[in-house]
């Protein structure tokens, strides 16, 4: 029995768990602050949202440590089934889901609501890891890349139907584990180049942009004028880029929802709107700015407390931290995240099994994407796409899915000496 329990927690990376718990506690404390009303101080109760969050954290720990009890092989063996289940849940939510805030993302279960898109993240991560770790898969030919793309695009498509653009975009973060496993770098460059062109397309006039692309193409051709083959490919790329501009414009104007367009335009500074969509961002920036260096002090924030910042305990929880703890608090929180992510990557790299490594990269990249976008939108440099801050934002589904995501990795790591 002694040996048995030793086996479960042997080799578990307690540093990661410590950072995880620190972030969860910061979450509870900030959620308490975000709803604290100085006129009516409340006693602790599980009915309040910070009470619920505390409950979520405790339940999350139970879930997390339960995962450590699983056999490490379970996750690689059952990866396709877990993926399948989460995909089914994504389909179910389209049918029976409850519409909250314009998105059909929630399945009501008793008094709780389950958000399948949160669980689809680790489902996808598991299957991706399973596929890439399969013997003989090399990510430098078309077929495996297409299979990986299919694994990623399926949940994206289902989530887009809800529609939940924010959660959809999270799946883009799987690009980086693929890159680590050998996806050619130029594909990434092409992808982000397209994103850049898409954004520039909104900023600059078409004539200027097309002129710029042609001039750049001409310059490349001039420098490679002795190598005929390169000249042709550069010319082709240039022309495709120009064509892409028109497609992008069409997509932007006809495929994106008006509120998504508005948010993108706002973030790029094409429009100012202090009362509508921009209100959230401006108020969040004001709240964070009001914190200054040292912060206003715990429970002293006025902007978050008095309802100027909307969604202050979920998507904009970072404004509460920024206002009450100032730059110091922001630095500590971001520092904890960076430390956690670098540690996960390092742990991933020490894995003998490709499955564990790929999965580790998936975990790090998903968490990072959330952190960067969430804080970025709170300070107005990213569009408001409504994704939570991992471990800190209020919400059971989000906390549990991140917990499961992380603890599966910790379980895989604890078993790094064995074979999967």
- Give the residues lining the site for another protein (CB under 8 A): 38-39, 176, 179-182, 283, 285-293, 302-303, 305-308, 322-323, 326-327, 330-331, 334, 337-338, 341-342, 345, 349, 361, 364-365, 368, 372, 375-376, 379, 381
Which contiguous run of DSSP H or E holds residue 112?
strand 112-114
Give the CA distances from residue 119 to residues 384, 388, 406, in Å, rounded to whole numbers and listed in that order. Answer: 22, 14, 12
- Of the candidates 320, 321, 301, the one whose C-alpha atom is nearest the C-alpha of residue 312 is 320
CB of 51 to another protein, least distance (A): 23
Strand order in the sheet with 112-114: 98-100, 103-109, 112-114
Measured from the CB of residue 326, what is the shortest distance to another protein in angstroms? 6
| Residues 170 and 159: beta-carbon distance below 8 Å | no
Pick from 417, 416, 418, 407: which is nearest to 70 by CA? 407
Which is closer to another protein, CB of 56 or CB of 174?
174
Measured from the CB atom, the residue of 160 and 286 that comes closer to another protein is 286
Residues 151, 130: Cα–Cα separation, whole Å: 11
Q: How far is the CB of 381 from another protein (least distance, A)?
A: 6
Of the pair 158, 384, the CB lying nearest another protein is at 384
Please report how close the Cβ of residue 118 comes to another protein at its closest, in angstroms: 22
Provide the minimum distance between the beta carbon of 416 and another protein in the complex, in angstroms, as a whole number. 16
Q: Which one, 210 or 286, has the nearer CB to another protein?
A: 286
Give the nearer residue to another protein in terms of CB position, either 284 or 401. 284
Q: Which is nearer to another protein, 63 or 382 (CB)?
A: 382
Query: How many whole angstroms separate alpha carbon 114 and alpha carbon 89?
Result: 10
Q: Which is nearer to another protein, 22 or 231 (CB)?
A: 22
Q: Closest separation between CB of residue 306 and another protein, Å?
A: 4
Closest CB 159 distance from another protein, rounded Å:
24
- Separation of alpha carbons 136 and 102, rounded Å: 44
Comparison of 204 and 334: residue with beta carbon closer to another protein: 334
- Minimum distance from residue 291 beta carbon to another protein (Å): 6
335: which residues sit within 8 A by CB, 6+ positions away?
A: none
Residue in the structure block whose two tokens are 């995880």: 20
Q: Which is nearer to another protein, 242 or 341 (CB)?
A: 341
DSSP symbols for 136-176: T--TTSHHHHHHHHHHHHHHHHHHHTTT-HHHHHHGGGGHH
Distances in Å between the alpha carbon of 22 and those of 108, 110, 392? 30, 30, 10
Please report how close the Cβ of residue 103 comes to another protein at its closest, in angstroms.
24
Nearest by Cα to 153 from 161, 284, 189: 161
Q: What is the dihedral of CA 102, 106, 112, 117, to 10 degrees?
A: -120
């Amino acid at each position: 029995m002694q040996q048995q329990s030793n086996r479960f927690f042997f080799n578990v990376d307690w540093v990661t768990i410590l950072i995880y718990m620190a972030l969860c506690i910061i979450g509870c404390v900030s959620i308490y602050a975000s709803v604290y009303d100085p006129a009516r101080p409340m006693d602790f109760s599980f009915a309040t949202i910070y009470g619920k969050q505390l409950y979520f954290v405790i339940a999350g720990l139970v879930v997390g440590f339960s995962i450590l009890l699983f056999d490490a092989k379970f996750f690689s063996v059952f990866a396709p089934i877990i993926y399948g289940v989460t995909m089914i849940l994504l389909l179910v939510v389209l049918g029976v889901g409850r519409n909250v805030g314009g998105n059909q993302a929630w399945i009501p279960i008793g008094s709780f609501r389950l958000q399948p898109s949160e669980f689809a993240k680790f489902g996808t991560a598991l299957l991706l890891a399973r596929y890439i770790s399969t013997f003989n898969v090399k990510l430098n030919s078309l077929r495996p890349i297409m299979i990986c793309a299919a694994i990623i695009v399926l949940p994206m498509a289902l989530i887009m139907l809800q529609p939940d653009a924010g959660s959809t975009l999270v799946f883009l973060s799987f690009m980086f584990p693929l890159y680590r496993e050998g996806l050619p770098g130029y594909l990434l460059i092409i992808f982000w180049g397209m994103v850049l062109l898409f954004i520039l397309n909104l900023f600059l006039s078409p004539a200027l942009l097309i002129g710029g692309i042609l001039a750049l193409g001409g310059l490349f051709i001039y420098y490679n004028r002795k190598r005929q083959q390169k000249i042709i490919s550069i010319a082709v790329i240039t022309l495709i880029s120009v064509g892409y501009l028109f497609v992008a414009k069409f997509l932007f104007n006809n495929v994106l929802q008006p509120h998504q367009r508005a948010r993108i335009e706002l973030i790029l500074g094409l429009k100012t709107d202090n009362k509508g969509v921009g209100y959230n961002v401006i108020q969040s920036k004001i709240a964070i700015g009001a914190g200054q260096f040292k912060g206003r002090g715990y429970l002293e924030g006025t902007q978050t407390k008095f309802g100027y910042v909307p969604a202050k305990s979920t998507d904009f929880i970072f404004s509460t931290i920024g206002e009450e703890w100032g730059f110091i608090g922001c630095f500590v929180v971001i520092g904890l995240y960076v430390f956690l992510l670098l540690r996960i990557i390092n742990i991933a790299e020490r894995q003998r099994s490709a499955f564990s490594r790929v999965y580790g990269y998936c975990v790090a990249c998903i968490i990072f994407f959330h952190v960067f976008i969430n804080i970025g939108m709170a300070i107005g440099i990213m569009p408001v796409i409504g994704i939570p801050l991992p471990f800190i934002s209020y919400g059971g589904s989000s906390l549990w899915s991140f917990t499961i995501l992380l603890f599966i990795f910790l379980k895989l790591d604890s078993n790094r000496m064995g074979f999967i």
